[in-house]
Amino acid sequence: MADVELISKKSFCDDEREVIDVFADFQKEVIDKNIDELNNVVLNGFELRGMFADKLSKSEFISKIQDGTIDYSKSDIIEPNIFFDDENNASLIGDVRLTAKIHGNERRWISKTAVNFQKVNGKWCICSWDN
């Protein structure tokens, strides 16, 4: 996953690593515009908050990826912390450095990120992404 990099000095337990891997895969699918996989990993009630000073639903987010409005090319996940509310709910908190074209302008920025996950049928899925 050359386009997605985990930058951390921490060691992660298996459960934490599973959550990090789901987020890294999600970032890779956004970069690759793999809509089928995005639909599998993102829950229907998904919200993206913060990037556009408003909220995007799952369908709005995926639509902006499909039409190139959002065009990610690189994601660095920096020093994430994983928290488990229970066996079916987790959060990833950390910084994410994104490189993307948004509305045709290439930008690179670091955002404070909070991603919420829910385990569905034994698989971690993304509920929301605040950045």
pLDDT tens-place string over residues 77-119:
999 999 999 999 999 999 999 998 877 788 888 999 999 999 9
pLDDT recorded at residue 119: 97
**Across the strands, what pairs with 119?**
124
pLDDT recorded at residue 53: 57
> Would you kindly state where each structural domain of the chain is located, as residue ranges?
4-130
Q: Does the pLDDT value for residue 67 go beyond 50?
A: yes
Residue type, 119: K
According to CATH, the topology of domain 4-130 is Nuclear Transport Factor 2; Chain: A, (3.10.450)
pLDDT recorded at residue 52: 59
> How far is the C-alpha of 117 from the C-alpha of 53, rounded, in Å?
22
* Residue 131 vs residues 37, 41, 103, 121: alpha-carbon distances, Å: 21, 18, 18, 27
* Residue 79 vs residues 5, 9, 20, 76: alpha-carbon distances, Å: 11, 7, 11, 10
Query: Which segment, 1-5, 9-13, 97-101, is predicted with the most confidence on average?
Result: 9-13
pLDDT recorded at residue 1: 46
Decide: pTM greater than 0.85.
yes
Contact partners, residue 88, CB within 8 Å, separation at least 6: 118, 119
Query: Torsion angle, CA of 82/8/48/55, rounded to 10 degrees?
Result: 100
pLDDT tens-place string over residues 17-59:
999 999 999 999 999 999 999 999 999 999 999 765 589 999 9
